[in-house]
Amino acid sequence: MPEVIDITVEDDVDLPPRTAPRATRSNVGSSSVSATSDEIVRTGGRETVTVSFDLSTLRASWKKLRERLADALREREDRERDAKTKLDSTAGLANADDEEVVEALSRVIDKPDFASMEVVGQFNLGFIIVRRRKRGGEGDGVDDVEMDDLFIVDQHAADEKYNFETLQQTTKIKSQQLISPEVLELTAADEVVALENIDILRQNGFELDIAEDRPAGQRVLMTAHPVSGSTKFDAKDLEELLNLMQDRPAGQMVRCSKARAMFAMRACRKSIMIGTALNKRQMTSVVQHMGTMDQPWHCPHGRPTMRHLSDLVGVGWDFREGPWKVEWGAFGRVAASAAI
């Protein structure tokens, strides 16, 4: 009777130790050949072995596995759908809460995304429509596009913020020499900060000398203060700068509130105005500049630079089918359903 091996039970079974493959030698003609035995080593004397198993148990296990996989896929789809829905509601045009919009946009848009955004066109001579696609997956065609969205960019606000940050980082404010140096009464901490940021203070128009022979707290002398048109600066602006420097690394550019207001006005006047027609190269430049900014989400006057416009996946645009497959009528249906 053939030996029967039952693999339908889960109890521990004492199995004989596995024997390592044995090297054998066989003679073929006059030559000697070394061979290795088969991977499965016979441990019994039977010629045949019957392996029995429960097919219904196998079916049940396979069914459970498929159900777990299906649940995992549904959970992932739900998370992605919730993320898209939240983006539509928190970063869309209807949300007037700027802080909430900034939080939502900064969560889903990274600085490198601006360089890869596709300019779709200009709207109403004041806004740039861009498309952002984020790829994922393993390159096997599954989930190759995780997000496919349209955003609307305010051309004036975005360009103004870029010009503002450029002025902040590069402008050296002119200085006016004082008739006699002014001794600054500083705390020990402020004095150390001033010494560590002499170059930054000079960029802001404050020229300082250090009198080593004076007592601590009175060693810093102001020899010149900043001037710029109608904007007047004084020791209070220097005090503000020192307070701002307390919480920042030495050598990092800071500006007082008067300087920021001055730069904001200059940036506004030199930026692209609403009503200006732009070609694709100009629009691309505006969008890519946003990726170089510290905070690209609103202009220095508080005007939003961009908002989420539409989820293309949600309106039936599958990028893998090509851009010509867009069902533009879906945009109208989405708007109609939102109005209801």
> Which of the residues in the chain have pLDDT under 50?
2, 4-5, 9-13, 15, 18-21, 23-34, 136-145, 319-320, 324, 334-335, 338-340
- Quick one: pLDDT at residue 73? 76
Which CATH number belongs to the domain containing residue 179 in this structure?
A: 3.30.1370.100
Dihedral sign for Cα atoms in the order 26, 28, 29, 30:
negative
CA dist list (Å): 148 to 88, 130, 154, 317:
12, 11, 20, 9
- Quick one: pLDDT at residue 253? 93
Number of domains comprising the chain: 3
One domain for residues 105 and 75 = yes
Single pTM value for the model: 0.66
Question: How far, in Å, CA of 165 to CA of 295, rounded?
Answer: 9
One domain for residues 83 and 15 = no
One domain for residues 104 and 182 = no
One domain for residues 314 and 293 = yes
Q: How many helices (H) and strands (E) does the chain have?
A: 10, 12
Would you say residue 217 lies in a domain? yes
One domain for residues 318 and 335 = yes
- Quick one: pLDDT at residue 70? 82
- Quick one: pLDDT at residue 289? 97
Would you say residue 118 lies in a domain? yes
One domain for residues 274 and 254 = no
One domain for residues 147 and 185 = no
One domain for residues 286 and 221 = no
Of residues 176, 183, 226, the one with CA closest to residue 201: 226
Q: Which residues pair with 310 in a beta bridge?
A: 150
Question: How far, in Å, CA of 84 to CA of 76, rounded?
Answer: 12
Would you say residue 187 lies in a domain? yes
Would you say residue 16 lies in a domain? yes
Question: How far, in Å, CA of 142 to CA of 144, rounded?
Answer: 5
Q: 144: which DSSP letter?
A: S
Coil vs helix vs strand at 294: coil
One domain for residues 177 and 162 = no
One domain for residues 247 and 176 = yes
Would you say residue 196 lies in a domain? yes
One domain for residues 145 and 283 = yes
Would you say residue 276 lies in a domain? yes
User: Residues 257-275: pLDDT tens digits?
Assistant: 999 999 999 999 999 999 9
One domain for residues 292 and 254 = no
User: Residues 112-143: pLDDT tens digits?
Assistant: 999 999 999 999 999 999 999 876 444 444 44
Q: Which two tokens stand for residue 265?
A: 């006005």
Would you say residue 115 lies in a domain? yes
In angstroms and rounded to an integer, the radius of gyration of the C-alpha atoms of the chain is 36
Would you say residue 235 lies in a domain? yes
Domain boundary among 238, 262, 286: 262
- Domain encompassing residue 21: 3-55
Q: Which residues pair with 311 in a beta bridge?
A: 149
Q: At what angle do helices 98-108 and 55-90 cross, to 10 degrees?
A: 140
